[in-house]
Structure 1
């Protein structure tokens, strides 16, 4: 029987009560409980079941659900008798920062305060004079939207105290999407203010809280310990490369194929695999994106679901302003290549634009890259990871992101490409001067930009645009050896009857060149003198098929010849 699919429903009880489609992840309860870690942080990409799993944990452990064993009776956890006795026996504090996306620190802080105040309202049944003393009442009455930071930082610890007295048992604290406001703080520029506020709250809740039995947090990234977990030495961190809980977030291939069979879609297995498979957690490969799978089961259409379900503004910003080396690596990855690198999974947001390789750690944590292989470097004592694009859906996300870099209505990129392929130099020059003026600043770091740094940053972003638009018909490479040097860009058609192209970018040197025309001439001369045609000639292209273009830059002015 095909169960109804309730898209976006992250309530475990609701899914079970209404007999909706659900893949059993209750083994997570057993695994987490038997590990006996005091505080656990689990990072997974967005929409990988973190919220649903935490709600499942609340339904299982919370005293508020002590009479709801029916929610678990036909699931894996119920096969073990000892968990019958554990269900519904703990006071639970559950909160989520998923919707805290303020553009200012004040807005974000207010959102967090609203959550804390609401928690005291939810647990207002503890207001019993037999349990609370005058000091307790004084603190409870101070918990409001105007409470000072020192009161706010103690709210979860004090609430834990009141609940543990009320139930005569220590509490469990579940915090979902702890890093959502932190990512917003980085994007909008109030990182230091927010980390100071959250550091006090989290340390008081999870480190110095004597009323805590266990804590569980989820998020997308592992924020550096120095940023917000400086005093939290009892934290067990589970990232995408960790072995623990590797099958408990996301769907395994067996689970996906079983679901496809239930919905009479088994004939789509290979297509579904190419679109939505590819995630790797620990050594567990073939993990599928659950949001895309459930959307496909409901709509029965192969299209991007997950990558279009939220903004990728942070990733886009970091890639757009990244250095030429990063853009070159992305070129290789988009062309089906692989990056071998060490990964530091501890994200230091205020160093993302400066720390070498940080962008790849963020892309891996976010699910946009997958680990295809890893090896241990004994000399350095570190793992070296092989990273590739995760799947077809993610590739489409990158393509859309790069298109947006050139999406000004006044500068139609597709028209430029048509002119480029037709060798319409006049239109190409008009376009390039428009797009250079509007995008040069975006492709620079914004910190003491120099005219000499503009072209290299820009042209690698420009090449990514070429790859996105022309990769079906051309192999596009940059900064590769050919002849006696390294060309800037080469477009090699898969159809050898078509023309091939070599592009050379040069910055105008006023000491040796009178005009941009001289710079263009020097670029074209370099293509000839360095024999950049050699690779194409060796591949069977005739000289008359190979077109040369010189791009000359002077500030934000461009000349193509």
Structure 2
């Protein structure tokens, strides 16, 4: 029996449209009920872009608007006994980007105008904070019900200026001014919900609103955004069958590929496995695995901040940190960790109750590959396109266990790339190789500890484990001698794969591989 393919809500963030047009909807209404019936009526949720924050906000809008008919058959239908209609003020800040102070104030004014027209308050010349105060009080007085305020992507106007010491404080003050009435209007408010990517400090953004509850790392809300593995296997069971048929592989192979590419997110610990919803749904719609989330736009601010903090590609991955070090206000950060975590480029992979340390790492293959592609221009400049072609040819050679051909190809390519200043040190070439080899989609790690020292680089394919030692302005024999002298292969003897030793010597004048030596560990 052929399974009918469903409609997937790619880019659709309005709950009522999903339900009325019979799009696939992963039921998150139990979380809506939990949020709206808890002790705190002020809540903040941080999640990466395209993770379902806007859809969640829209679901809250429909719920508070009393649209009971939209929730038939969903979890909240059995939980809610009273359906009350409240006045809802729903502000979307996602379009408030790339603006100066005047433009941002006008944008905020436009957000207010549509509700001012509803409540007969049009034409006001007051500042936006006074207008918001007046709007909340008027809505309360006219309806006799407390007001719900929903602010989606509250930090969008600030993200692209996060690295700008001049513009960030100015725009931050504009946003702080706009949000300031929320504390004073407490008696008139039923519920306040804000979403965003980054966490700014309460002092800098929310002024005196010090009673807002940050649920971003709360275990009861671990799967409030994104698609958990359980949700995929149960609510998308038929979709997996359809995707397997379109890709002409088994259902088990489809699940494995989806997990490898889109799974791996955890926003607290313990946490269910969370899939990137945009990539997962797009793969279902298009019938193939590809880089959808990263391909939808790499934020400029991320690359700027990586450069600002001098983060090397191999430093983005595995690290240990206390929660206050990564779930922290981004404008106070002294390293890149909070931004990488809150933006979704690293995520929680483990937690030690003994030390209270979290292990953070890149979530999955899609993010790792996307990051490396974004960082490649730093090394290849205008030759990035040719570099990606070279990477494809390298993959073919290494996949076919032709390491000699792979290194010869890499030597020829790098000899054509003009080099920047300050690249004549071994670490530069280690970063370059790590970036290129990561794009092969294989496991790569650097500075791997052994009982007698650290291996410069380890790369594992499906059939072989490569131990790579790098030298600059020496010889490949010197690199190979270090591998043998410190017996690096011993550390990996139980990996179950053949081990190949690779010694590479770079030349600072030609800026490419000068010689190399390849040997099998016996």
TM more than 0.5: yes
2:100 to 84, 98, 105: 105
1:99-248 paired onto structure 2 within 5 Å: 99-102=95-98, 104-106=99-101, 109-127=102-120, 140-143=123-126, 151-187=127-163, 190-206=167-183, 209-239=186-216, 241-248=217-224
- 1:170-218 Cα offsets, whole Å, 9 max, x none, are 2110000011111112145511111122122212234555432321001
Q: State the 1:82 CA deviation.
A: 2.1
Give the structure 2 partner of residue 77 of structure 1: 76
TM-superposed deviation, 1:15:
1.6
- Unmatched runs of 5 consecutive residues or more in structure 1: 129-136, 144-150, 441-450, 506-519
Aligned to 2:296, the other structure's residue is in SS state coil
1:423 is displaced (CA, Å) by 5.6
- The CA distance in 2 between the partners of 1:530 and 1:234, in whole Å, is 58
Deviation for aligned residue 1:261: 2.4
Q: Give the superposition deviation at 1:548.
A: 4.4
Distance 1:524 1:114, change over 3 A: same
How far apart are residue 24 of structure 1 and its match? 1.8
> Does residue 368 of the first structure (1) align with residue 371 of the second (2)?
no
Matches within 5 A, 1:369-408: 369-377=346-354, 383-408=356-381
Work out the CA distance in 1 between the residues paired with 2:441 and 2:9: 38
CA distance in 2, matches of 1:269, 1:487: 34
What TM-score results when the alignment is normalised by the length of structure 2? 0.78
When structure 1 is superposed on structure 2, of 544-553 and 22-31 the one drifting more is 544-553
C-alpha distance in 2, partners of 1:550/1:362?
A: 34
Equivalent pairs counted in the alignment come to 482
Greater CA radius of gyration, 1 or 2?
A: 1
Q: SS where residue 284 of structure 1 aligns?
A: coil
1:503 correspondence with 2:470: yes
Given the superposition, is the C-alpha separation of residues 533 and 198 from structure 1 closer, same or farther in structure 2, using an over 3 Å criterion? Answer: same
Equivalent residues of 2:330, 2:339 under 8 A apart:
no
For 1:511, the equivalent position in structure 2 comes to none
CA contact (8 A) 1:487 1:502 kept: yes
Contact 2:437–2:444, Cα closer than 8 Å, also in 1? yes
Q: Does the CA-based 8 Å contact 1:175-1:216 persist in structure 2?
A: yes
Change (3 A) 1:232 1:455: farther
Deviations 1:287-316 (A, max 9, x none): 222222222232221222222222233333
Which secondary structure does the structure 2 equivalent of 1:234 belong to?
coil
Q: Distance in 2 between matches of 1:425 and 1:304?
A: 25
Q: Distance in 2 between matches of 1:249 and 1:293?
A: 13
- Are 2:91 and 2:152, in contact at CA under 8 Å, matched by a contact in 1? yes
- 1:88-142 deviations in Å (ceiling 9; x for gaps): 2x1111101112221x523xx52453343343333423228xxxxxxxx8xx521
Aligned 1:238-387 pairs, distance under 5 A: 238-239=215-216, 241-263=217-239, 264-265=241-242, 267=251, 268-282=254-268, 283-323=270-310, 327-330=313-316, 333=317, 338-343=318-323, 344-352=325-333, 355=334, 358-377=335-354, 383-387=356-360
Equivalent in 84, 88, 95 of residue 91 of structure 2: 95
Return closer, same or farther for 1:485/1:155 CA change in 2, 3 Å cut-off: same
Q: CA deviation at 1:527?
A: 5.2
Alignment of 1:40 onto 2:40: no
Q: How far apart, CA to CA, are the structure 2 residues paired with 1:409 and 1:19?
A: 46
Structure 1 window deviating more from structure 2 (315-324 vs 303-312): it is 315-324
CA distance in 1, matches of 2:17, 2:438: 42
2:435 alignment counterpart: 465
Instruction: Give, in whole Å, the separation in 1 of the partners of 2:12 and 2:19.
Output: 11
Question: 2 CA distance for matches of 1:499 and 1:284?
Answer: 34
CA–CA distance in 2 between the matches of 1:490 and 1:373? Answer: 23
Instruction: Give the direction of change, closer, same or farther, for the CA distance of 1:455–1:286 in structure 2 (3 Å limit).
Output: same
> Once superposed, what is the RMSD of the aligned Cα atoms?
3.9
| 1:462 partner SS | helix
Q: String of CA shifts for 1:478-528, please: whole Å, max 9, x gaps.
A: 4467898767567799978x99753224xxxxxxxxxxxxxx35x889758
SS across alignment from 1:95? strand
Q: Superposition pairs for residues 529-540 of structure 1, below 5 Å?
A: 534-535=486-487
